[in-house]
């Protein structure tokens, strides 16, 4: 039988501590909420009251339930008030010496069988536990912010935490309606170890002026379906908090450079640019604590004004290729009102592409998203061809052929001879250097990357990839085209992975390394990222969908270009690909899909 917790204590009533108090009180548990002073206690009371009042206003909590919740909370100053609790959770700032002092005092104050827990997100639970005479009763219970909403709790056991304590806490999490993942004491645990490497990489990308803050954030939201972009998320977390977590993980986690805080991060913290709480971080906010972003000196001019300046007129578009991506791009341009010339390697392939476009458009009609007249008009704008010479009078060519550099270079050399002067030549490559393709022509200034995401008719993002030879006019034309077809164009340099893949795949690779080290299971890692970070898919779900072979190829390209040790493909990923376990398409990847 699991232990029954009738009263718990919470030390520290900041945003996280007050949220934890609310979680327990909502679930019928009496709480002693402790702060260091009357002023701090009142701030905590205001935080809790504000949260519960908002829940009532939104219809998520009845007034009577709110009143009952508040009646279960005993607000007290000083740790001495915790003498009779069954469990105490510490939620004070992330400083080891502070937590150790608190745990030493809790050890003295609390009854002998009380469990002492820390909500730390990055510090060593083991180092905290040794400040007590009962390290076997010390455990990590890591809630995620906002605690009343987020479903995940990381239960962190040390090498001496008793099995009974772990079982009791797991049962408690279930009582609270949370999903727990139980792991050992390692820097960053699951979620932060994976999340902060990605966030730090995004800061480095911005620091190098590879892309604007707006484009980095838009790319990850629109390209990966994430709830927030990485830089906006850093502002929400607090840059000082993020720096402390990264620095701790770097020192505790084997000095992995993925967790070495980007120099810009330290500079911003020193300058007091801490994010939303200070009113300015990567973005500027209406006031400290406000979520409303306001324009500042770094805010880009309106896209319409930027693209109108120097953009060439485009009326007719050529699309080369016969795969899924080419088919989707043809549909995108035809629905947007452009005349489209589709070029494939033969009449048979053209017929298949034509049928695929018709099928997709018909689905739009059936779902009520497209009128029959618009479907017919879109089909009427497409010309089907098997010869590149029919691209002689187009204004833009989009290449979507096989991802092999030699094939693309040969195609662009042919386009260079056939197309009229001033035509924008675009490649949809997701991993190859655009400059290599551009230099196969005599007009590299007219070559740009237009990386659509699959499925092109649905995904709202296009990465506009400019090389060091791409002209401003060509870039402006590419951005104008994205706006005209209803896509968000994000501009970046010609570097392996561009924005999305460069940030996404190292994170996926980190997850594989975590599994490979037997730190946690694929299921728990997926739960952690979905429930703790709001990701639409866990890393192993996503890897199986993308294809392990595709993922490995992208990770190899990133490693070869950037030479970052942390980007070296995980051996487990290499082994699975060698074994033919490629994900859903082969029936097995990190999971078995044959019976699903």
Domain ranges of the chain: 7-185, 191-299, 305-494, 500-586
Q: Please state which CATH number belongs to domain 191-299.
A: 1.10.1040.10
Q: Average the pLDDT over 211-216 and give the result.
A: 96
pLDDT at residue 454, rounded to an integer:
87
Q: Give dist(CA 432, CA 420) in Å, integer.
A: 25
**Active-site position among 90, 154, 463, 557:** 154
Which has the higher per-residue pLDDT, 506 or 301?
A: 506
CB-based contact 557:596 (threshold 8 Å): no
**Active-site position among 51, 119, 122, 192:** 192
In this structure, what DSSP letter does residue 257 have?
G
Helix axes 500-516, 191-207, angle to 10 degrees: 150
In DSSP terms, 588 is beta-bridged to 583, 592
Q: Give dist(CA 252, CA 262) in Å, integer.
A: 17
pLDDT at residue 307, rounded to an integer:
53
Tens of pLDDT, residues 414-428: 999 999 999 999 999
Phi, psi of 537 (to 5 degrees): -140, 150
Q: Give dist(CA 35, CA 28) in Å, integer.
A: 22
Where does the pLDDT of residue 525 fall: very low under 50, low under 70, confident under 90, or very high at 90 and above? very high
Calculate the dihedral angle through the C-alpha atoms of 307, 309, 314, 317, rounding to the nearest 10 degrees: -40
Phi, psi of 453 (to 5 degrees): -110, 150
pLDDT at residue 309, rounded to an integer:
65
**Active-site position among 142, 201, 259, 451:** 142
Lowest mean pLDDT among 84-98, 308-322, 489-503, 518-532: 308-322
pLDDT at residue 385, rounded to an integer:
93
In DSSP terms, 319 is beta-bridged to 342, 398
In this structure, what DSSP letter does residue 570 have?
P
- Residue 301 reports pLDDT greater than 80: no
Where does the pLDDT of residue 311 fall: very low under 50, low under 70, confident under 90, or very high at 90 and above? confident
Q: Give dist(CA 572, CA 550) in Å, integer.
A: 15
CA 332 to chain centre: 26
Where does the pLDDT of residue 300 fall: very low under 50, low under 70, confident under 90, or very high at 90 and above? confident
Q: Give dist(CA 555, CA 577) in Å, integer.
A: 13
Q: What is the pTM of this model?
A: 0.88
Where does the pLDDT of residue 522 fall: very low under 50, low under 70, confident under 90, or very high at 90 and above? very high
- Residue 306 reports pLDDT greater than 70: no
pLDDT at residue 198, rounded to an integer:
95
pLDDT at residue 574, rounded to an integer:
96
CB-based contact 252:238 (threshold 8 Å): no
Q: Average the pLDDT over 70-74 and give the result.
A: 95
Lowest mean pLDDT among 130-144, 189-203, 243-257, 444-458: 243-257
pLDDT at residue 431, rounded to an integer:
80
**Active-site position among 121, 350, 496, 586:** 121
Residues 6+ apart with CB under 8 A from 372: 365
* In this structure, CATH architecture of domain 7-185: 3-Layer(aba) Sandwich (3.40)
CB-based contact 430:378 (threshold 8 Å): no
- Residue 453 reports pLDDT greater than 70: yes
pLDDT at residue 188, rounded to an integer:
82
Tens of pLDDT, residues 328-348: 999 999 999 999 999 999 899
Where does the pLDDT of residue 594 fall: very low under 50, low under 70, confident under 90, or very high at 90 and above? confident
Angle at 47 between CA 41 and CA 48, to 5 degrees: 90
pLDDT at residue 255, rounded to an integer:
78
Angle at 160 between CA 159 and CA 165, to 5 degrees: 110
pLDDT at residue 430, rounded to an integer:
86
Tens of pLDDT, residues 240-277: 999 999 998 898 867 788 889 999 999 999 999 999 99
Where does the pLDDT of residue 308 fall: very low under 50, low under 70, confident under 90, or very high at 90 and above? low
Sheet holding 339-343: strands in order across?
Answer: 382-385, 339-343, 316-320, 396-399, 424-427, 447-452, 461-466, 488-493
Q: Give dist(CA 123, CA 91) in Å, integer.
A: 12
Say what percent of the chain tops pLDDT 90: 84
Q: Average the pLDDT over 531-535 and give the result.
A: 91
Task: For residue 142, indicate whether it is catalytic.
Answer: yes
Task: For residue 121, indicate whether it is catalytic.
Answer: yes
CATH topology of domain 500-586: 1.10.1040
Phi, psi of 422 (to 5 degrees): 90, -5
Q: Please state which CATH number belongs to domain 305-494.
A: 3.40.50.720
Residues 6+ apart with CB under 8 A from 359: none
pLDDT at residue 305, rounded to an integer:
57
Q: Give dist(CA 176, CA 162) in Å, integer.
A: 22
Q: Do domains 7-185 and 191-299 have the same CATH topology?
A: no
pLDDT at residue 365, rounded to an integer:
93
């Amino acid at each position: 039988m699991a232990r029954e917790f009738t009263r718990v204590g919470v030390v520290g009533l900041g945003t996280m501590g007050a949220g934890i108090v609310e979680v327990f009180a909502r679930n019928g548990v009496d709480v002693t909420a402790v702060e260091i002073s009357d002023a701090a206690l009142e701030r905590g009371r205001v935080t809790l009251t504000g949260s519960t009042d908002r829940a009532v206003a939104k219809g998520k909590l009845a007034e009577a339930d709110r009143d009952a919740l508040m009646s279960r909370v005993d607000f007290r100053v000083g740790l001495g008030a915790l003498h009779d609790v069954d469990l105490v959770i510490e939620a004070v700032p992330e400083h080891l010496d502070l937590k150790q002092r608190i745990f030493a005092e809790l050890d003295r104050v609390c009854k002998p069988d009380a469990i002492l827990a820390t909500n730390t997100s990055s510090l060593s639970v083991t180092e905290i536990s040794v400040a007590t005479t009962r390290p076997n009763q010390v455990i990590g219970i890591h809630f995620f912010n906002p605690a009343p909403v987020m479903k995940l709790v990381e239960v962190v056991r040390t090498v001496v935490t008793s099995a009974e304590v772990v079982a009791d806490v797991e049962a408690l999490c279930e009582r609270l309606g949370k999903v727990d993942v139980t792991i050992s004491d390692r820097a960053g645990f699951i979620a932060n170890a994976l999340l902060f490497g990605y966030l730090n990489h995004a800061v480095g990308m911005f620091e190098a002026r590879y892309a604007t803050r707006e484009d980095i954030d838009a790319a990850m939201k629109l390209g990966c379906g994430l709830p927030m972009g990485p830089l906006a998320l850093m502002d929400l977390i607090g840059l000082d908090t993020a720096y402390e977590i990264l620095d701790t993980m770097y020192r505790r986690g084997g000095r992995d450079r993925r967790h070495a805080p980007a120099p810009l991060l330290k500079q911003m913290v020193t300058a007091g640019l801490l994010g939303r709480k200070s009113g300015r971080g990567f973005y500027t906010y209406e006031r400290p604590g406000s979520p409303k972003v306001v324009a500042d000196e770094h805010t880009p001019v309106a896209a319409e004004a930027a693209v109108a300046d120097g953009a060439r007129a485009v009326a007719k578009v050529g699309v080369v290729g016969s795969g899924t991506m080419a088919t989707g791009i043809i549909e995108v341009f035809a629905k947007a009102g452009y005349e489209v010339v589709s070029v494939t390697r033969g009449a048979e392939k053209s017929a298949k592409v034509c049928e695929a476009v018709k099928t997709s458009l018909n689905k739009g009609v059936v779902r009520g998203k497209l009128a029959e007249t618009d479907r017919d008009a879109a089909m009427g704008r497409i010309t089907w061809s098997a010869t590149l010479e029919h691209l002689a009078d187009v204004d833009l060519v989009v290449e979507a052929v096989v991802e092999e550099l030699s094939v693309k270079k040969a195609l662009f050399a042919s386009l260079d001879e056939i197309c009229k002067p001033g035509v924008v030549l675009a490649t949809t490559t997701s991993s190859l250097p655009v400059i290599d393709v551009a230099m196969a022509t005599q007009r590299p200034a007219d070559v740009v990357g237009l990386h659509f995401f699959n499925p092109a008719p649905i995904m709202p993002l296009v990465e506009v990839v400019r090389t060091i030879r791409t002209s401003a006019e060509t870039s402006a034309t590419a951005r104008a085209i994205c706006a005209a077809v209803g896509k968000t164009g994000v501009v970046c340099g010609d570097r392996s992975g561009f924005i999305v893949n460069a940030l996404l795949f190292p994170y996926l690779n980190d997850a594989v390394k975590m599994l490979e080290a037997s730190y946690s299971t694929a299921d728990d890692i997926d739960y952690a990222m979905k429930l703790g970070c709001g990701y639409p898919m866990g890393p192993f779900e996503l890897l199986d969908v993308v294809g392990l072979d595709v993922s490995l190829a992208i990770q190899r390209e990133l490693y070869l270009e950037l030479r970052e040790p942390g980007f070296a493909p995980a051996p487990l990923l290499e082994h699975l690909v060698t074994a033919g376990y490629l994900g859903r398409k082969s029936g097995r990847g990190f999971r078995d899909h044959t019976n699903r």
